[in-house]
């Protein structure tokens, strides 16, 4: 009797992973609208190409790159999270199957996400640095506030970099321990 109850409870707990599926579907829907927003920005760039100077043109290009990197981040979360926490993706030997899907685990997802956040943060910092030269401030308080904002962006970027390094180091240590455990079993 206890065995039957245990199997039912464990089956229910294991099946609860499917509660995450609507979240991944929601991210796919959000990414659809994000792609639409990208298209709107691209259309604005095309329409204004003749009137934009080099600096503003570059800023819009960087914004499009930022859109793309966030879309990549969403795709990684959806594909990696679904395959890791819900169900293996049954796509066989599809020619477009990402290589990283074969050896994905929660640790590698975290490292990939942290790396993506660093890339997004880098684009944001670059945009801030480029815009500094064209900024005019009515008073020193406004300038100080703006530069403090950039300083906080730098601090956040450094935190992302350190976090990614620590996550990668932790993942490396865990892989070595796992490999050492596999060797001990043989």
Query: What are the tens digits of pLDDT across the range 12-46?
Result: 999 999 999 999 999 999 999 999 999 999 999 99
**In whole angstroms, what is the distance from residue 117 CA to residue 124 CA?**
10
Tokens of 37: 């927003």
Per DSSP, the three-state class of 96 is coil
The model carries a pTM of: 0.75
DSSP state of 138: S
Tokens of 148: 């403090």
Query: What are the tens digits of pLDDT across the range 90-144?
Result: 877 778 877 777 777 777 788 888 888 899 999 999 988 888 877 777 788 888 8
Q: Which of 103-107, 137-141, 157-161, 175-179 has the highest mean pLDDT?
A: 157-161
Residue burial 6-27, b: 16+ Cβ < 10 Å; e: rest: eeeeeeeeeeeeeeeeeebeeb
For residue 98, the model assigns a pLDDT of 74
Give the residue with greater pLDDT, 107 vs 85.
85
Q: What percent of the chain has pLDDT over 70?
A: 96
């Amino acid at each position: 009797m206890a065995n039957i109850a245990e199997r039912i409870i464990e089956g229910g707990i294991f099946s609860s992973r499917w509660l995450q599926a609507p979240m991944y579907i929601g991210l796919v829907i959000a990414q659809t609208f994000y792609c639409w927003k990208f298209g709107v920005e691209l259309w604005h760039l095309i329409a204004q190409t003749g009137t934009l100077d080099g600096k503003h043109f570059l800023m819009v290009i960087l914004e499009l790159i930022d859109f793309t990197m966030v879309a990549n981040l969403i795709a990684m979360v959806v594909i990696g999270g679904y395959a890791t926490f819900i169900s293996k993706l049954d796509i066989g030997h599809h020619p477009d199957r990402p290589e990283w899907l074969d050896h994905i685990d929660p640790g590698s997802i975290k490292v990939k996400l942290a790396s993506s956040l660093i890339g997004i943060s880098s684009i944001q910092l670059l945009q801030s640095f480029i815009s500094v030269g064209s900024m005019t401030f009515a008073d020193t308080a406004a300038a100080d506030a703006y530069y403090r904002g950039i300083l906080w962006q730098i601090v956040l970027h450094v935190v992302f970099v350190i976090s990614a390094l620590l996550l990668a180091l932790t993942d490396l240590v865990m892989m070595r321990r796992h490999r050492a455990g596999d060797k001990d079993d043989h």
